[in-house]
Structure formats: C-alpha cells, structure tokens
Amino acid sequence: MTTVESNTTAAIPDEIARQIVLPEGHKDNVPLFEAYRWLRENQPLGQARVEGYDPLWLITKYADLMEVERQPQIFAAGGGEDKGSNNPILANQAGDEFTRQLLGGNLRILDALPYLDQPEHSVVKDVAFDWFRPANLKKWEDRIRETARASIDRLLAGGPDLDAVQEFAVFFPLRVIMSLFGVPEEDEPRMMALTQDFFGVADPDAQRDDIEALSPDAAAQQWAATIADFYAYFDVLVESRRAEPRDDLATLIAVAKDENGEYFPKTFAYGWFVAIATAGHDTTASTLAGCLQSLAAHPEVLDRVKGDPDLIPDLVNESLRIVSPVKHFTRVALQDYEMRGQKIKAGDRLMLLFQSGNRDAEVFDRPDDFDIDRRPNKHIAFGYGPHMCIGQHLAKLELKVMLQELLPHLERVEVSGEPKLIQTNFVGGLRKLPVHLTFS
C-alpha cells in the first residue's frame, strides 16, 4: 500500500533504511543494532524509502511502539474494514503483488491473528485464549518437563561439541508444540522442514528447491508454497479431530464454532495451527539458543543461576529482551495522525521494530548489556496491546522448565566456532551456534 504524498523531510538516510528494511541487513547484529541506535538517537520516527518496497515509517522507540499498539482502531494490522489491504509481515512490492494475484487482490494469505483486526480479531482469539492462560498451562507442565528431560538425555549422550541450534535448541519447543497438538512424533521432521521454510523465505540457506531464488517475488512464492503445504497437512488434522475429539489443543481449535453454532471455516483452524506451529516453535528455539550464547559470554551468570534457580525467570526475561526473536510487524494508518511532530497520513505503513524498542536507553539502563538483575524488565519481545503474543506464557514456561532441567548438568558453555544468524527481517535468531559444553 503506497502513499501518494510522502514526507520528504522525514526521509531516513538510505544506508540506515536499507540496513533495517532489507532481510540481508539482518545477517549481522552489529551493524543492525548500530542502525537501530542511530535512529533512536537521531531520527526516532522517519520514513524509509527503499527501492522495491513501499515507503515505511520506522518505529524505533519503546514509547512509540506502545503508542501505536495500544491504538488498533488507528493503526490496523490487516487494513481495518478494508480487510487484507495491508500485509502485517513486510514483503517487497513484487511479493505483495504476487500474493494479490494469488488471492484475487487480497494480501490476507492466512486467517490468523496477526492478519486480523477488530472485531474479528477478538472473536478468533477467544477460541483458544483461555487455553493459553497460566492456570491451564500448569496441567501440561509435567509433560513439558518430560520432554525437556528427554531432550537433555540426548544432549548428554551426544558429546560436548555440537551446534547448539541445529542439534539441540530447535527440537525441544517443536516436540512440546507437536505433543500439545497431538501430532505424532514421526511427523515432526516434516513440521521442522516447513517451519524452516516459513521463516527462511529470505535466507539463501533455506530456499526451497521449487522456487526460483533470484526472482523478485521468490520470498512470497516460498511463503505461499509453504502455507499450502501446511494446509494440506493440517486439513487431515482438522478432519480427524472433528470426527474423533481428544483432550488436546488441536481439538479445541478444530471443533470451535461461531455465534451461529457452525464450525469456523477450516482456514481459521489452519491459521491457528500454522501460527502456533511456527511462531510457537521458532521464537522459543531462538531465545533458548540466544540464552546459551549469553551464558557463554557471561559464565558468572551461569554460576549464579546454578546456585540460585529462583533466578531462572529473570534469565528467561533478559534472554527474551536480548534476542527479541520477533523483529517486526507492520501496521497501516487508518487516519491522519501526528507523532513526534511528524504527519503520518491515512494509508501510510509503519514498521514496528521490537528489537529496537527493547534496547531503548530511555527504558533500559545499559541496554546492550546482558543483565538478569533488571527490575522491572518491561521488554516487549511479545509485542503489546491486542496483538500481544497469545503464547507468551507457554514460551516462558517452556524456557523456564528447560533451564531448570539443563543447568544442573551444565558447568560451562564455550562458543567454539562462528555463530550465524538467519537472514530475515521478520522472525529469527541464530541459525548456527557451535559450542563446547562442559557437563557437571
């Protein structure tokens, strides 16, 4: 969605804009975080105009992110009444055009919460909102702990030298999510591959063989193809749970009915399943890997937490802040709005930069330091407002349980090779983290 009149006085320097908007700008955190810092200190609200992309207001400050997210009636995810007119996940113009052609002029490729606005958002969110409450999740803690212990047993049996991402961190949250769905363990490799395809659309290391990598709309093609593969798998799951309900999350979603007593269209069940299977897996894996990287850099923190396991929730929160695996969502202004003296016009798009907000020095003292003693630690790794991540309590529980089980066995973490990040401006963290582990 392009804006006819752009605010030339608000233009962000091209080098900074490209660093943040382009996926390849996210393959190295050092220049990326420097670009975030430059914007926060010099131009906290400005327009990025990168060739091939719609103009974007970059929202870099914590307070501004909160201001936008608490006003969904002004800043819509999917376009407000004009459903599907905004893509909440940034794609280039060629990619959005591919999606419009695929969907008959629409950008809503998933009937999932990130694409929905009120009142539809609340109706769909209510399907599983209570399931994700801490009180309900408590009954699943024993199963999560068994999964963590099994994962740690495999880690201990495999030797001290490994890729902490590909050989450890990615498997635990996937197994948790799939077991809560009731997906059989033998299907997990397929779910793993699809998740990597889903979030790796802009990463050369995660390109599908059936997509022409150099095509301008390659990322959108891979996104659409991966969603279609997810749909094919989850259709069987929906039919199975409607025919034979079980006590699992998949059944809750599959048998949900609207106000008329009719099943929601299958696409809404697919949307739930895709969102939980991907975001619920990849974000937790990225945070766990980032936590291990931080413990390698700060062995004194590992010693402290081993000596006082009550510090584990603080370790989890600071790891979430430091990693911030969800880097952005976009919003579209439904009316003219003034922020920081700038005129945001109806129809303008905004790119909400959560990683930047979580390193805002006005909110976090020494924001680049890993400090588990932050009180309070008001990170926004899960977003804010109505679109705040519904799975946040599950993610925190998984990470807490894993660390409770892992740290008694772990004496030291040493990074033994070059870490590598996933090349993405959306959701991701470490792709590779070679480590040497010393076990107790």
pLDDT of residue 8: 54
| Parts of the chain with a pLDDT under 50 | 1-6
361 phi/psi in degrees, rounded to 5: -65, -20
Asked whether residue 436 is marked as a ligand-binding residue, the answer is no
Q: Which two tokens stand for residue 211?
A: 């997509």
Asked whether residue 53 is marked as a ligand-binding residue, the answer is no
Asked whether residue 387 is marked as a ligand-binding residue, the answer is yes
Contact, 92 vs 53, CB < 8 A?
Answer: yes
pLDDT of residue 296: 98
Asked whether residue 389 is marked as a ligand-binding residue, the answer is yes
pLDDT of residue 280: 80
Q: Which residues contact 271 (CB under 8 A, 6 or more apart)?
A: 110, 111, 112, 113, 115, 124
Q: Which two tokens stand for residue 390?
A: 């519904």
> Measured between alpha carbons, how far apart are the two ends of the chain, in Å?
56
pLDDT of residue 279: 78
Collapsed DSSP state (helix, strand, coil) of residue 410: strand
Cis peptide before 265 (omega within 30 of 0): no
pLDDT of residue 309: 97
Q: What would the pLDDT profile of 7-51 be if each residue is shown by its tens digit?
A: 556 899 999 999 999 999 999 999 999 999 999 999 999 999 999
Domains of the chain from N-terminus onward: 14-439 (1.10.630.10)
Contact, 1 vs 33, CB < 8 A?
Answer: no
Asked whether residue 281 is marked as a ligand-binding residue, the answer is no
How far apart are the C-alpha atoms of 214 and 230, rounded to whole Å?
Answer: 24
Q: Which two tokens stand for residue 200?
A: 């790796």
pLDDT of residue 312: 98
pLDDT of residue 80: 94
